[in-house]
């Protein structure tokens, strides 16, 4: 008999829970609510909320709206979004995660304080990611985004550097960037870095490793677009090579090998609990 266990520490982080609750609360007394970008990087949860009236829009469609309500998701937005809303009668339901908001404020403060002194504000993150766009917006577009060590050639090591991180990056990757800058920066030049990684993701790494290693096979459930899903799945794979990334239960079609005894189901901070439960139920059914 195969035992199927869901990782109790997987699932939505408080930032996502808060954004979804804000949307659901608003949708109790309005038929349609616009959301700028996917409220969570999980298409099935986006579909569920669409059924309640949540309409996901992009920035282009946003600029055509007037006199309506728009929800901003946990990733946050640059100041230009708020300015546009204010000028066009759009009421913002702001579900920016408090962790992201604090980071935006910190970057904005550093930007104001260093204006004119040649300091480079650097963000370790994914170029074009919504959160990163919101962070770069705090610097009037001047911050330099670094995705990997190769990008460091973009920096001038004779000028001061302040380094921040997108909240969902891995601590390991961030520390590698810190070390690489330390090695290249000229003596007497100021280099300060701020570990702004959200512990909702980082703290899950040891837990998910332990969970993966005590199962014969692991199904990691997440949307393709989830950044933290990629990081957490990599940890799963390191701990248990018999780990599989899926987005939905229907992707499990092959019969379960007879030697399996313990199967684990886990996911990202954007994976709804109900989806992991569906996967577990599917596995149990296959095992009947």
Q: Which among 194, 189, 188, 251 has a CA at the least distance from the CA of 219?
A: 251
Stretch that binds ligand SF4, among 115-123, 171-179, 197-205, 278-286 (CB under 6 A): 197-205
247 counts as binding ligand SF4 under rule CB under 6 A: no
Q: Where are the beta strands (DSSP E) in 62-190?
A: 69-72, 91-94, 120-124, 144-146, 161-165
Q: Given candidates 38, 269, 276, 282, which one binds ligand SF4 under the rule CB under 6 A? A: 269
Q: Please confirm, yes or no, whether 251 is among the known catalytic residues.
A: no
Nearer to ligand SF4, 13 or 275 (CB): 13
Instruction: Say if residue 198 is exposed, middle or buried (CB neighbours under 10 Å; 0-12, 13-18, 19+).
Output: buried
What is the closest distance, in whole angstroms, from the C-beta atom of residue 128 to ligand SF4 in the complex?
17
Determine which one of 77, 131, 147, 235 is catalytic. Answer: 131
Among 4, 7, 11, 16, binds ligand SF4 (CB under 6 A): 16
Please choose, from the candidates 6, 37, 242, the residue with its C-alpha nearest in 3D space to the C-alpha of residue 132. Answer: 37
Among 6, 13, 162, 208, the residue binding ligand SF4 under the rule CB under 6 A is: 13
Strand order in the sheet with 91-94: 54-57, 33-36, 69-72, 91-94
How far apart are the C-alpha atoms of 92 and 69, rounded to whole Å? Answer: 6
User: Does the protein bind ligand SF4 through residue 200 (CB under 6 A)?
Assistant: yes
Tell me which residue has tokens 């701990």: 239
CB of 98 to ligand SF4, least distance (A): 7
Output the smallest distance, CB 104 to ligand SF4, in A: 11
By beta-carbon proximity to ligand SF4, the closer residue of 24 and 216 is 24
The CA distances from residue 5 to 206, 214, 216, 255, 266, in Å, are: 18, 11, 11, 18, 9
Residues 93-122 that bind ligand SF4 (CB under 6 A): 97, 99-100
Tokens found for residue 121: 């504000």
**Does residue 198 bind ligand SF4 (CB under 6 A)?**
yes
In angstroms, the CA 10 to CA 266 distance is 6
In the complex, least distance from residue 167 CB atom to ligand SF4, rounded to whole angstroms: 4
Residues 6 or more apart in contact with residue 29 via CB below 8 angstroms:
none
**Which is closer to ligand SF4, CB of 35 or CB of 97?**
97
Binding footprint of ligand SF4 on the chain (CB under 6 A): 13-16, 74, 97, 99-100, 167-168, 198, 200-201, 269
Please give the positions annotated as active site.
Answer: 131
């Amino acid at each position: 008999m195969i035992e199927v266990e869901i990782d109790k520490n997987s699932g939505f982080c408080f930032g996502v829970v808060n954004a979804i609750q804000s949307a659901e609360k608003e949708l109790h007394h309005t038929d349609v609510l616009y959301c700028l970008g996917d409220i969570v990087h999980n298409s099935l949860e986006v579909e569920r909320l669409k059924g309640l009236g949540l309409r996901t829009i992009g920035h282009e469609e946003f600029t055509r709206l007037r006199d309506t309500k728009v929800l901003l998701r946990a990733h946050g937005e640059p100041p230009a979004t708020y300015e546009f809303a204010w000028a066009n009668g759009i009421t913002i339901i702001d579900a920016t995660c408090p962790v992201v908001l604090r980071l935006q404020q910190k970057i904005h403060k550093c930007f104001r304080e260093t204006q004119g002194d040649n300091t480079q504000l650097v963000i370790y993150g994914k170029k074009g990611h919504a959160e990163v766009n919101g962070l770069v917006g705090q610097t009037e577009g001047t911050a330099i985004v670094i995705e990997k060590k190769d990008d460091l050639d973009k920096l001038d090591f004779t000028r001061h550097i302040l380094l921040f991180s997108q909240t969902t990056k891995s601590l390991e990757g961030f520390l590698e960037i810190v070390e690489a800058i330390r090695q290249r920066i000229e003596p007497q030049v100021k280099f300060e870095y701020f570990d702004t990684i959200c512990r909702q993701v980082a703290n899950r790494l040891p837990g998910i490793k332990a969970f993966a290693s005590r199962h014969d096979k692991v199904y990691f459930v997440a949307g393709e677009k989830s950044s933290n899903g990629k990081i957490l799945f990599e940890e799963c794979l390191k701990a248990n090579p018999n780990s599989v990334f899926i987005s939905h239960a229907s992707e499990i079609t092959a019969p379960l090998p007879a030697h399996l005894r313990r199967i684990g189901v886990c996911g990202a901070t954007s994976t709804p609990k109900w989806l992991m439960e569906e996967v577990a139920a599917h596995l149990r059914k296959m095992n009947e």
